[in-house]
Structure 1
């Protein structure tokens, strides 16, 4: 299915989103791999604890 966007504001919005995602990727690229792994494990533990407290099966 092909969607045609007729909104004149779609291009500037897309440019802003692309710029933000590129900035995010550049920022995260500066984090050392070991730091990323530690942060991801911490986030995973927090998510598991929260799910366990709420009785949600992840």
Structure 2
């Protein structure tokens, strides 16, 4: 360690995959599997983050 504090850029994912609001359930599952992630940001048509969908959100309630 060089004594510098860890910052977000040190630990974040740099290649980001996201969903659009109209994504189908099967496409969400496929994307999570392909990218080996448990959550994905959801974007509007302008590319603004509207929220996050996670594996837990996909489970029946």
TM-based fold match above 0.5: no
TM-score by length of 2: 0.26
* Structure with the largest fraction of helix: 1
Higher strand share: 2
What TM-score does the superposition give when structure 1 sets the normalisation length? 0.26
